[in-house]
Amino acid sequence: MKTLIASGIAAAALVSAASADVTFTFTNQVWTGFNFTEAYAAGSLTGTLTGATVNATLNASTNYTYADDLCVYVAPSPLALGGLLQCGGFSNLSAGQRYSWANGGSDAPGTPVTGTVNFTTGINMAANPTQSIWIGNGYGAAGTSGTWTGTITLRGVSAVPAPGAIALLGLAGFCSRRRRA
């Protein structure tokens, strides 16, 4: 019986490790120029960030914000220039690594931005515990804004379970034990 439980736990751990990705979803989200949302605070992700997949549509644009200005930025809080990584966005945030989306170079409403970018150097979240993941408008000109709907999936990372979830798992294990005669 113990072997069966142990093998079940090992299988569950393997499956969760194999599907280590988190997805940030947004609907009619407006970001003005260089405006970002802290999608994942420092310490809230584990693993190594190896890439990002975008599947979004630009719903509206002001002053030449393009679909591919949708940006993933890895930097500490409070937000500042010189982060570890920038993916997307016309304006340079002086990140250590900088990538562009393969499409989305238009400000016309309905323009999609889709695809996956694999990072040359992954970012180990445990080795960089002060880094947050920011998502927003990477075009910093005055008076700009974009409205997007879609998802961005961060590859290679998982959300850190809340302490309450870990406690519930421990309680479930404790309650499932049976006394043998």
Q: What is the pLDDT of residues 144-161, one digit of tens each?
A: 999 999 999 999 999 998
Q: What Rg value do the Cα atoms of the chain yield, rounded?
A: 20
CA-based torsion, 164, 25, 146, 54: positive or negative: positive
One DSSP character per residue, 89-128 reads -SS----SEEE--SS----STTEEEEEEEEEEEEEETTT-
Q: What is the DSSP letter of 41?
A: -
CA–CA gap between residue 34 and residue 87 (Å, rounded): 13
- The full set of domain ranges for the chain reads 20-160
Q: Is residue 166 predicted with pLDDT exceeding 60?
A: no
Kind plus residue range of the DSSP H or E element containing 180: none
How far is residue 134's CA from residue 35's CA, in Å, rounded to a whole number? 9
Question: What phi and psi values does residue 2 have, to the nearest 5 degrees?
Answer: -65, -40
How big is the CA angle at 4 (ends 171 and 20), to the nearest 5 degrees?
A: 70
Region 20-160: CATH code: 2.60.120
Mean pLDDT of the chain: 88
* Of 68 and 4, more confident: 68
pLDDT digits (tens, 9 = 90+) for 34-62: 999 999 999 999 999 999 999 999 999 99
Tokens of 120: 């040359």
